[in-house]
Each structure stands twice: as structure tokens, then as C-alpha cells.
């Protein structure tokens, strides 16, 4: 019969505790679910609305914290496990991180449009442009003549990334031009600056409508929509970081909710701001693939 001294048992127990601590060192010690989201979704209140409705329907309480930034930063935080779930709208960046294996897509949330907005007098005649690329070319020409300005978010957000894509398609580079103003701020601020200087900018439709309804825009109107280049797809992702491993069950429940009852919430409470993925599956899938990898 094996016999162990009390000292041996203490050492063995301590060893097991240390091993358990080491094996779980990468797992969060708190129970706060951190969510990264784009400024555009936060400004219309979508993320909080979804989370509150989810908790009510599921009969659960979740401690969560929403971290608001542009999509580039939101995806960076998701990739390194600072946040465990994210709502973003930057397909090319999302595609890159999916391929790296740092994030996984939970589903498409919905979509709206980017719109090119500008002053009522429209010195670049964007209203008559054939598409977004032609509109940017017109703005560039008028900017070079000193007749207008373009306000860029300049913050690596989904909106900023889409803007860069359109400039690239136009073959023009406005970086450093005196009429091209980079704010490094969110969509609301960019719109308000564009309104103040009577310049152009690219905006998601939801934020523009919210500011317009709040009477914060005096001079700025929608001048162009483009169903090819300006569809704005919002997706839901989870981090593959070990830091988020403990949240996997609740994240999967949130994802299932967003793709079912959450779609109805978009229809009921966010009409005109964000359209649901439900009922538009082909459009959203096709648009995301085109924007992510240039494939329809």
C-alpha cells in the first residue's frame, strides 16, 4: 500500500493548482463580454438594442461593454482577444482576418447604403455622375480648381476604407491636397464639418438620416447612391483568441438570436436605417464577396 506524507500531498496539490492556473492563464478572469462595434451602428443605437432584446427574450443577464471605434480598430481588438465579438462593415479587412484564422464569421446582420453627400449648390455636379467613381473624379477636378472640399474620416473605419477603394478605382489620389481634409473622427463629426464648410463626404445612410432628423445638417443633401460600389454590409464576428474561449456558449446564443429574432428587431425599430439580412440574402452575399475579394 502506497503511503504519502502530508508534505508530499501539499507539494502535489500545489503543483496541480499551478498547472491549472497556467492552463487557464489565457482565459479572462472577469465575466464582462466586450463587444467592439463601428461608430455608425453605435450612433443609431443598434448594438445596445440587440443586446437588451436578446437578454429579455433569453431571460439572461450579461455584463457587457461596448467599445466604439472604426471597423479597422474594432477588428484589431477582436483579433487579439481584447473584444470577443464585433459588429463591423469592412469586408476586405474581415476577409483578411478570416483567412488568418484570428476571427470567425457568425453571420450577416444587415445592410444599408453609403451615400455621397454634399452642398445643395453641388459645384462638382455629383448629382449627374454616372456612379460613385465618376462622382469622386468630379469632386477631384473641382477641388483642384479650388471650388470645393472633400471631408474624409481618415480613421481606417469601414467608411474610410470604402472611400479609399473608390479613389483607387478612379485612379486619383487626393492625399495631401489642400481641399482634402482628413478629420480622424467619427461619421457624425465628418458630416458636421462637411456641412459647415459646404464640402462633400461619404457617409453611411443611417448616420446621415439621424443627423438630418435632428436638424444638425443645414446645407448637406444626398447627391448620389450606387448599388454596385456603395452597398454597406454589416457582419457579426467572434474572436478565435483563447482569451474568449469562456464566452463561446453565450456568443453562439447571441449569434443565433441576431440571425432570427434580431432580424425582426431591425425591421420593427430600424426601418430606413439598416435593412435586415433576412429577405436579402443573395444581395448581401454577392455584395460582401465583391467588396472582400472583387468576386461576384
pLDDT in tens, 167-211: 999 999 999 999 999 999 989 999 999 999 999 999 999 899 999
Which one has a higher pLDDT value, 271 or 192?
192
The whole-number pLDDT of residue 78 equals: 98
| Domain's final residue, options 183, 202, 224 | 224
User: Is residue 272 included in any domain, yes or no?
Assistant: yes
pTM, two decimal places: 0.82
C-alpha distances (whole Å) from 60 to each of 52, 55, 250, 267 are 10, 5, 10, 23
Task: Give the pLDDT band of residue 37 (cuts 50, 70, 90).
Answer: very high
Please check whether residues 126 and 271 belong to one and the same domain: no
For the chain, what is the domain count? Answer: 2
| Domain's final residue, options 202, 224, 246 | 224
Residue 26: pLDDT above 50? Answer: no
Percentage of the chain with pLDDT > 90?
A: 82
The per-residue pLDDT of the chain, averaged, comes to 90
Residue closest to 72 by CA, chosen among 26, 110, 37? 37
Read off the CATH number of the domain in which 238 is found.
3.40.190.10
Residues 6 or more apart in contact with residue 227 via CB below 8 angstroms: 113
Please check whether residues 105 and 201 belong to one and the same domain: no
Please check whether residues 120 and 76 belong to one and the same domain: no
d(CA 207, CA 196): 17
Tell me the backbone φ, ψ of residue 74, rounded to 5 degrees: -60, -40
Task: Give the pLDDT band of residue 3 (cuts 50, 70, 90).
Answer: low
The whole-number pLDDT of residue 30 equals: 64
Structural element, H or E, at residue 17:
helix 6-23
The whole-number pLDDT of residue 39 equals: 87
How is 192-246 classified by DSSP, letter by letter? HHHHHHT-EEEEEHHHHHHHHHTT--SSEEEEE--TTT-EEEEEEEEE-SGGGGG
How is 41-78 classified by DSSP, letter by letter? HHHTTHHHHHHHHHHHHHT----EEEEEE-HHHHHHHH
Torsion sign, CA atoms 95, 97, 102, 103? negative
| Residue-number span of the structural domain to which 133 is assigned | 113-224
- Residue 33 CA to its chain's centroid (Å): 18
Residue 52: pLDDT above 70? Answer: yes
User: Is residue 125 included in any domain, yes or no?
Assistant: yes
Please check whether residues 135 and 220 belong to one and the same domain: yes
Amino acid at each position: 500500500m502506497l503511503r504519502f506524507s502530508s508534505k508530499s500531498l501539499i507539494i502535489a496539490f500545489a503543483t496541480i493548482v499551478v498547472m491549472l492556473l497556467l492552463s487557464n492563464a489565457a482565459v479572462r478572469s472577469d465575466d464582462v463580454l466586450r463587444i467592439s462595434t463601428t461608430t455608425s451602428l453605435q450612433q443609431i443605437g443598434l448594438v445596445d438594442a440587440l443586446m437588451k432584446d436578446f437578454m429579455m427574450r433569453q431571460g439572461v443577464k450579461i455584463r457587457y461593454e461596448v467599445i466604439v471605434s472604426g471597423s479597422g480598430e474594432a477588428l484589431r481588438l477582436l483579433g487579439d482577444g481584447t473584444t470577443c465579438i464585433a459588429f463591423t462593415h469592412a469586408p476586405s479587412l474581415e476577409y483578411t482576418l478570416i483567412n488568418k484564422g484570428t476571427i470567425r464569421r457568425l453571420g450577416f446582420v444587415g445592410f444599408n447604403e453609403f451615400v455621397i453627400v454634399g452642398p445643395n449648390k453641388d459645384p462638382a455636379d455629383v448629382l449627374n455622375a454616372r456612379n460613385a467613381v465618376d462622382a469622386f473624379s468630379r469632386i477631384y477636378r473641382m477641388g483642384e480648381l479650388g471650388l470645393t472640399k472633400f471631408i474624409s474620416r481618415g480613421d481606417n473605419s469601414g467608411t474610410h476604407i470604402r472611400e479609399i477603394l473608390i479613389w483607387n478605382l478612379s485612379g486619383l489620389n487626393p492625399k495631401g491636397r489642400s481641399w482634402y481634409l482628413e478629420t480622424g473622427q467619427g461619421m457624425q463629426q465628418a458630416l458636421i464639418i462637411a456641412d459647415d464648410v459646404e464640402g462633400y463626404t461619404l457617409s453611411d445612410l443611417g448616420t446621415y438620416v439621424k443627423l438630418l432628423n435632428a436638424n444638425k445638417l443645414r446645407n448637406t443633401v444626398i447627391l448620389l447612391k450606387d448599388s454596385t460600389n456603395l452597398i454597406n454590409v454589416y457582419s457579426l464576428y467572434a474572436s478565435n483568441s483563447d482569451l474568449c474561449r469562456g464566452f463561446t456558449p453565450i456568443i453562439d446564443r447571441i449569434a443565433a438570436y441576431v440571425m432570427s429574432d434580431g432580424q425582426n428587431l431591425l425591421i420593427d425599430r430600424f426601418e430606413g436605417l439598416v435593412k435586415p439580412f433576412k429577405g436579402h440574402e443573395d444581395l448581401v452575399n454577392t455584395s460582401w464577396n465583391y467588396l472582400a475579394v472583387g468576386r461576384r
